[in-house]
Amino acid sequence: MANLDLDAMLQRFRDRAHAVKQRPLPPVAGEERQAFIAQAKVDYQDFAIIGDAEAEVIDGVLTLRVDLRPEDERN
C-alpha cells in the first residue's frame, strides 16, 4: 500500500463529521425533513467514530481501533 497517510485519512473523517453538523437543511418539510435529519445524524455518527479511531497498518491490514466507552471510563 503506497503512502497511506493514516493521520490525514482520520482528519478527513473528522472534517466530514464537522461538515455534516454545518450542513444546511434543504427546503423540505414533513417526512422528507425528518428523513434528512435522521440521515445527517447517522452520517455524523459514522464519520465521527472513524475520525476518533486509532489507525495502524500491520502486514498490509488496516486496523481501526475505536474505544466506545464513555470518556471517564477510559484508561
pLDDT for 43 beyond 80: yes
Number of H helices, E strands in the chain: 2, 2
Is residue 51 included in any domain, yes or no?
yes
Total count of domains within the chain: 1
> Largest Cα–Cα distance of the chain, in whole Å?
50
Q: Within a 10 A sphere around the Cβ of 2, how many other Cβ atoms? A: 3
Q: Report helix angle 30-51 to 6-22, nearest 10.
A: 160
Is residue 61 included in any domain, yes or no?
yes
CA distance 57 to 5: 10
Domain span holding position 54: 6-73
For residue 55, give the C-alpha cell: 489507525
Average pLDDT over residues 6-19: 96
User: Which of the four pLDDT bands, split at 50, 70 and 90, describes residue 3?
Assistant: confident
